[in-house]
Each structure stands twice: as structure tokens, then as C-alpha cells.
Amino acid sequence: MSTTVTTPIGGLDGSPKVEQNYLTNGHTLKSWLLTTDHKRIAILYLISITFFFGLGGAFAGLIRYELIAPAGNVLESETYNKVFSAHGIIMVFLFLVAVIPATLGNFLLPMMIGARDLAFPRLNLLSWYLFNAGGALVLAALVNGGVDTGWTFYTPYSSLYSNTNVSLAITGIFLAGFASITTGMNFIVTVHKMRAPGMTWFRLPLFVWANYATAVVMILGTPVVAITLLCVVFERTFKLPIFSPELGGDPVLFQHLFWFYSHPAVYIMILPAFGVISELITNFSRKRVFGYHFIAFSSLAIAFLGFLVWGHHMFVSSQSMYQSIVFSLITYLLAVPSAIKIFNWTATMYKGNIRLDAPMIYAIAFMGLFTVGGVTGLHLATVSTDIHLTATYFIVAHFHYVMVGGTITAFLGGLHFWWPKMTGRLYNESVAKWNAVLVFVGFNLTFFPQFVMGFMGMPRRYHYYYFAPEFQPYHLMSSAGATALGLGFAVPIFYLVKSLFTGEKAGANPWGAHGLEWETQSPPITVNFETVPIVTDEVYDFDPVGEHEELMAKLAGAKS
Amino acid sequence: MASITHPGHGDGHHGAHDEHHGPGGVFHQYIDLEQQNDSYIVGMWTFLVTEVMFFGALFLIYGLYRYAYSQDWFLAHEHLDYVMGGVNTFNLLVSSLFMALAVRAAQLKDRKVVLRLLGGVMVCAAIFMVIKYFEYTGKFHENLYPGPTFTKNAEILHGANLNKAQMFFGLYFAMTGLHGVHVVVGMLIIGKLMHMWWKKNPMVTEDYIPTELVGLYWHFVDLVWIFLYPLFYLMPRPDALAAHASGGGGH
């Protein structure tokens, strides 16, 4: 990106000033726990989120281990209910919703727009504390005996009948929800008001656009689910009749309100992933992104349409058939902006100078997996096929393709891409490449068989299937794949942490990538930029011809 | 654009804590006071959007159930004291007027007037909570809070179906309770603002934006009540009941 720089930040008195990078600027525990630096908060979030991901993954492991045998291996029915509920609650509310915005978004958004920090740094810190407080309450609910409602907390079971720690878990989710709301508010204000001079809206990196759209969904959706879940707690503790059918309340109303958030919430999870992929595809194809405006506006279109499709989760509830038809049609419409992105990325790669580094492998894996997840979503958006597939493993496979194959793959790709920027160190690229392949293979082995057995009728949330032992081969494949996938998620922890100590120094821009974040040192100084950047051109101003000539000249020079 | 200055540069180390700001109370992440104030304003409106969605879900629930149970809810609502509610409505409107005038006085940097007007807002808020307290305790004494102990006496509810009446009072407590929490939070924030004015903190005395933002929050709390009052206290008589009343010639 072309930038010119003018006013120095420090040293107006002429003295040379040694700026420490954000990691070395304060070594005490207090300097981390009370930091308001968006980069440090991103690191704190990364640690919390890795912890919850590991925990949620352990519960997934239990599920897969249980299902190896048709009669079930270890778990009682009740325990199994609690295990898959814990897996869902942790992964959705304590991992997926926050993972990319709170880590990569927090770290990069201010740098990408040339700001020193988010607009409200202390609010940002509060967000992390709220997130952890919410996580602690959910943990307390699990330690205290667990929750057996599933992550959706459907009434009236959750409000009237379940004797598990529903209120505690919901209170935790409520707090984590406010962490999400504060992050969203911070992003919106930052993008609106903190852009560097010359950083116009259409010079914003697509990652910023995606996080902006995410933030809009966060602030519009999260309050609704917060109050809805609070109503469930009130109903449990104060007998406040809101969804209880015996007094005339409507339990399905809970589903409407819940999915009014929780469907847009899947866009909270996937939109930032789109942003990451846009950056990866462009930078590793060495080419200007194709259809910048379409990608930017498709994010907003997804954010908007995402609020109009919640009823497709309720085709088998008491919802009117005509309502279902409308929700179904709007859901088809929603496939358009998602497809626009995939097509634009493909067009970006076309005739690009593609480098298959680990982040790019993740990005390409994302495009394949998300497409499968998206296309199978259309089966579920069609009322007739959905009624056949409801509550089967087909749905489980579908949303894992979108959430794991989409969000987690993008997160891993983004983490590898920006790791040198965050830590100043290079990781072991060849191990990372093989690991990316392992994740892709392990993922498909885990979830593709679930499509097949789901289509054939294997119900979700069962802890045995002795009535249909013919499903065992699929479950075996799935469990084997889960083992590989678990390995693929664990290995990066080792080589990334190792890179902190023995990794080669990265330099400001090891990838030759474009974007303001690459124009400051790695790791960045606390205020991000030595001088206030002034932006004079779009971010993806790659010059393939020039790069090619440069390379040729280099080769010619080496020959002579 | 070449002459951007950075008021917050002087200290160099921003990492550990950023309580210290440059001249004029500009935090280190902002280029100047204008950017800071713009951010505050957008931030406050964004927050109010989340509040609208927060209350919005409850208003939706209210709307659906009122549509479904309009007759029973009408009968149950007659037990609420519209005079108390009306006094509180007037009271909050006056408080909003005080708040608007306080923002005006903050623009004029008239510290004494600001403090007096904010004090007026506090008094109104306190009166609101006191009246609410008497309303709530009255309902408690008549066993009108939801749960197994909800009154079995349909007479005091003018013959409304007790289950539906219980839902009415459930939402009444949920919505006015949530609003009450917002009033209390508002009092805390206004108290803090008054403290800052009292201590002549330049962040508020030199710049009216913080006062205005607190005002925005207070107007929002007021506005919620402006909706709650007619929805709970002033329901129109449903057609079926009206026909019955005129046909029977009774009430």
C-alpha cells in the first residue's frame, strides 16, 4: 500500500526515542492484566480461547469415543446429554463467536486502518474480563454437574423441567454475550472514526469490512438472545411465566427469539473468516483482489439477510407452513452473497502468482469445505428435504463444515499468516504445511461420513445406535478422522510456541504482503506506528508485472 | 492533511495504563479532541441501539401476548394504578427537561446551574423509584407476583383469567423491573457526572460532550417508560368487552 508519513509521534524535542515493541513494553503480570493495548488484549483473548477450544474439543473427543460402538462405549444417556451440551455451549459461545474478532480482529483492525488503538481500549479490556467471567460460570455449571439442554436451551425443557445447572450456564453465556457486544461497539466506532488520513471506506482492507459487518450483527443480535435467555433464568428462579405453556405462554416464541440471534450468530462466526480468506487469497496470489466492492458489500448483505432467515431452524416446529416457505426463499437468497465471495476469490487466484504457503493451504481448504457446507445448507433450507433431514447427522455435518471447515480453518490460516506480525518470529513452514493438509484430511474423514449416515437416518444426539449397527463403519471413520483432526489442532500449539523461542526473526513483512499492518515493525510498537500513516492508494495495489520483471532481473543477475 | 499533531505524545509509555492523557483530556488513541468526541458520540448511539434491541425482545413478547389475550390483560391491567404511573410519567418528563437544560448549561460552562439541574434529575429519579417501590409492595401484598402463590382471587382482577393475568404481571415486573434497573444505573452515572462537575474535572467542565452523552442515556430511559406507561397502565377497552359493557348497560 502506498503511504506517506509525516508527523513523528514522539521526540518533538529532537531526542532519539527508543520505542519498545508491545511485548517488551512491561513485563509484569499487572502490565498484562491491566493492559489497554489492543494487541495485548488480543493475545490474552488468544490464550482464553485456546483453553476453551481445548476443553470443547475434549468433549467432542468423548462424543466420538462413545459412538465407536453401537451400544455406546462409556457414557450413560444423561452423561452423554451433558457432554454434547457442554461441547456445543463451549464451542459456540466461548469459542466460535469470539475467535476471529477478539483475537485477529482485535490485533489487526486498528493497525489495518492506521489507528493507535481501538476507540475504547478500556472497554476492550472489560470485554476480555466479561468473557472470562462468563467462561468461569459455564465451567462452574459443568463442574457442578453439567447442563443437559443442548446449547439451544429450548423451552419448556430448559425453563420448567431440567434439573441441571441451566441458570448458571445461561448467566455465563449472558456475560460472554456482553463481551461480544462491547467488542462489536468498539469495532463500529473504530472503523467509523479512527481511520488514518486518506483511509477512505473503499480503501479499507476486506478484513476490516468483514469485521465491521460482524460488529453490526453482534450489536443487533446479541442483546436479543441475552434478554431471551435471561427470561429463561427468570422463569426458572422467579417462576416468571413467559414461555411456560401451562399458563398460556408460547415455548416456540423462545425458539423464534433464540434463532433471531443464533442464526445471525453463525454469520458472527463466518464473516470474519471471510475477511481472513480475502486477505490470504489476495496476498498469496500476488494479485489485486477481484471485485473488491462486491466482496465488501456481500459482507453487509449477509449481515442484513442473516436477520431474516431464522425461521429455517423451525420448519418442524409449530411455525406456519407459509412462514416456512418465505424463510426458505430468503435463505436461498442468502446463498448469493456467499457465492459471490467464493467466485471472487476464485477469480482472484486465476492467473495469479500463487504461493502455496501454509496460510494459503488453509485458505484453499476453506474454499472447498465452506462450499460443501454452503451447498448442503441449501438442502436444509428446502422445506421438503429439511423435514427428512431434521435432527440427523446430516445437519451436524453441515454446520461442522461451515463452522469447523470454515471458521476454524480460516482462523488457523489467519493465525499462521499474522503470527510473524504478532510475535516477530517465523514458524516452521514445512511442518505447518503438512499440518494444514492433515487438518483438511482429518476434517473430511470426520464429517463427510456424517453426511452419508445422516442422510440414511442416523439421528443426532443419540449416544447409541444398537438398533442400526450398519452405521458403525461411518462412526468408526468419523472417530478416526476426529483423532487426526485433534492431532492437527494440537500440533500447531507446539510449533507455534516453539517459534517464540527458536523461530527466525521475521522482519516487518516476511510475506511481502500488502496492508498497513505490514508497514510497521514486527512485533509492533505499543502505539502501532512511529508516525501517523497517510494513505494514498488502495490496499491491494499488487503489481504482478513489476514483480515478475524483478524476479527475472534477479535470476538474470544470478546467472551472469 | 500533512499537519497532524499528536497531543498525547508526551509520555512515551502507553502500555501499562493510560489514565494519563494529554492536554484537554485527549486519550492517547485519539489524534485530537474532535476525533475523541466523535467517537464518544458514535459509541453512545451504538450502545443505545443495543439497548433498543435488548428491550425490543420484551416489547415483542408483550405485543404477541397482548394480541392473544387482550381481554384478560385488559381486565388485569385495570388493577394497576394509572395515577401513580401517570405521576411517574410526568416526573420522568420533568427530569428529562432538567437534563436537557443541564446539557445546555454545560455548553455554556455554567457549573452551578449544571449541578443544580443534575441534582433535580436525581431527585426526580429518586421520586420515581419511591413511587415504584410503593406500587411493587402493593402488588406483593395482593400476591400478584407470578409463581405458585399467585392470587386465587379473580375478583381483584375484575374476573380476568388468572393464568393470563399472571403472565400480564410477569411481564409487568420483568419490563418495569428492567427499566427500574436502568433508572438506578442512570442515577449512579449522573452521580458520577455530578461528582466530576463538583471537582471541576476539566473533562466535563471544558467540554460538554460527556454531559450530553449521559443526557442521551437518561432520555433513553425516559423514552422506554413513555412506552411502558400506556402499554401497561392505559390499555384501551377491547371491542368485545366494550360491546358487552354497552349491551349489558352495566358498568
> Which residue in A has a C-alpha nearest to residue B149's C-alpha?
A239
Gap from B66 CA to chain A (nearest CA, Å): 11
Q: What is the pLDDT of residue A2?
A: 53
CA distance B174 to chain A (A): 8
Share of chain A above pLDDT 90, in %: 85
Neighbours of A25 (CB within 10 A): 22
Taking the Cβ of residue B250 and every Cβ of chain A, the question of whether any pair is shorter than 8 Å is answered with: no
Which residues does chain A have within 8 Å of residue B53's beta carbon, measured at their own beta carbons?
A: 219-221, 223-224
| pLDDT at residue B169, rounded to an integer | 94
Distance of CA A368 to the CA centre of its chain: 17
8 Å CB contact between B117 and B137: no
pLDDT of residue A11 exceeding 70: no
Smallest Cβ–Cβ distance between B43 and the set A189, A227, A228 belongs to A189
Does the structure show a pLDDT above 60 at B3?
no
Query: Residue A17 — pLDDT band, cuts 50, 70, 90?
Result: low
**Res A496 pLDDT > 50:** yes
Q: What is residue A543's predicted lDDT score, i.e. its pLDDT?
A: 82
Q: Give A314→chain B minimum CA distance, Å.
A: 18
User: How many angstroms separate the CA of residue B143 from the nearest CA in chain A?
Assistant: 13
Q: Which residue of A has its CA nearest to B173?
A: A240
Site of grid cell 432538567: B98
Number of Cβ within 10 Å of residue B63's Cβ equals 11
Predicted confidence band at A7 (pLDDT cuts at 50, 70, 90)? very low
User: Is pLDDT at A142 greater than 70 in this prediction?
Assistant: yes
- Stretch A435-457: mean pLDDT: 96
- Would you call A250 and B58 a contact, using CB atoms and an 8 Å cutoff? no
Predicted local confidence at residue B18, as pLDDT: 40
Number of H helices, E strands in chain B: 8, 0
- Are the Cβ atoms of B15 and A121 closer than 8 angstroms? no
Q: Write the pLDDT tens digit of every residue in B136-179.
A: 999 999 989 888 888 888 888 888 889 999 999 999 999 999 99
Is pLDDT above 50 for B183?
yes
A526-530, B61-65, B237-241: range with highest mean pLDDT: B61-65
Q: How many CB atoms lie within 10 A of CB A528?
A: 24
DSSP labels, A55-119:
HHHHHHHHHHHHTTSTT-SS--HHHHHHHHHHHHHHHIIIIIHHIIIIIIIHHHHHHHTT-SS-S
Q: How far is Cα A154 from Cα A256, in angstroms, rounded to an integer?
A: 10
Residue A560's pLDDT band (cuts 50, 70, 90): low
Phi, psi of A522 (to 5 degrees): -120, 130
Name the residue in chain A with its Cα closest to that of B17.
Answer: A35
Do the Cβ atoms of B1 and A526 come within 8 Å?
A: no
Give the per-residue pLDDT at B4.
37
Are A7 and B18 in contact (CB < 8 Å)?
no
pLDDT of A41 higher than 60: yes
What count of residues does chain A have? 560
pLDDT confidence of residue A358: 96
Q: Give backbone dihedrals phi and psi of B217, rounded to 5 degrees, phi first.
A: -60, -45
What is the β-pairing status of strands A3-8 and A531-535?
antiparallel
Report the share of chain B in percent with pLDDT over 90.
70
Quote the pLDDT of residue A13: 45
Tell me which DSSP letter residue A161 carries.
I
Q: Which residues of A touch B71 (CB under 8 A)?
A: none
Is B19 part of the contact surface with chain A (CB cutoff 8 Å)? no
| Confidence check: pLDDT of A199 > 50 | yes
Of the residues B5, B6, B171, the best mutation for testing chain A's interface (the one with the most A CB atoms within 10 Å of its CB) is B6
3-state DSSP call for residue B147?
Answer: coil
Residue carrying C-alpha cell 430448559: A158
Position A4 confidence tier, pLDDT thresholds 50, 70, 90: low
Angstrom distance (rounded) from CA A445 to CA A333: 30
Cβ pair B169, B146 in contact under 8 A: yes
pLDDT value at residue B10: 37
Check if the beta carbon of residue A270 is closer than 8 Å to that of residue A402.
Answer: yes
**Domains delineated in chain B:** 32-238 (1.20.120.80)
Beta bridge partners of residue A21, listed in sequence order: A525
Cα-based distances in Å from B229 to B169, B179, B223: 14, 11, 10
When pLDDT is averaged across residues A238-252 and rounded to a whole number, the result is: 90
CA distance A71 to A194: 58
Planar angle of CA B197, B125, B111, nearest 5 degrees: 20
* DSSP SS3 for B19: coil
In a 10 Å sphere around its CB, with 0-12 CB exposed, 13-18 middle and 19+ buried, how is residue B200 labelled? exposed
Position A6 scores a pLDDT of 47
Tens of pLDDT, residues A55-102: 999 999 999 999 999 998 889 899 999 999 999 999 999 999 999 999
**What is the complex's ipTM, to 2 decimals?**
0.91
| Cα–Cα distance measured from residue A533 to residue A528, given in angstroms and rounded to the nearest whole number | 10
Rounded to whole angstroms, the Cα distance separating A90 from A273 reads 19
Residue B15: predicted pLDDT:
37
**pTM of this prediction?**
0.92
Domains plus CATH for chain A?
A: 25-559 (1.20.210.10)
Q: For residue A513, what is its C-alpha cell? A: 504482503
Q: Sorting pLDDT into bands at 50, 70 and 90, what band is A19? A: low
Give the number of other CB atoms < 10 A from CB of residue B100: 15
Q: For A259-289, what is each residue's pLDDT tens digit? A: 999 999 999 999 999 999 999 999 999 999 9
Q: Given pLDDT bands bounded at 50, 70 and 90, which one contains residue B247? A: low
B35 touches chain A (CB under 8 A): yes
- Beta-carbon separation of B43 and A118 below 8 A: no
Beta carbons of A188 and B46 less than 8 Å apart: yes
| Chain B residue with Cα closest to A529 | B29
The full DSSP string for A477-537 is HHHHHHHHHHHHHHHHHHHHHHHHHHPPB--S-TT---SGGGGS-SSPBTTS-SEEEEE-S
Query: SS3 of A6, please?
Result: strand
Q: Which amino acid is at A3?
A: T
Distance from CA of B165 to the nearest CA of A (A): 9
- At position A260, the amino acid (one-letter code) is F
Q: How many CB atoms lie within 10 A of CB B147?
A: 12
Which residue does chain A place closest to B69, by CA atoms?
A: A248
- Inform me whether the C-beta atom of residue B133 falls under 8 Å from chain A C-beta atoms: no
| pLDDT at A244 exceeding the cut of 60 | yes
- Rounded-to-10 torsion of CA B208, B213, B217, B219: 50
pLDDT number for residue B24: 57
B167–A241 CB contact, under 8 Å: yes
The rounded mean pLDDT for chain B is 87
DSSP A274-314: HHHHHHHHHHHHTSPPTTHHHHHHHHHHHHHHGGG-GGGG-
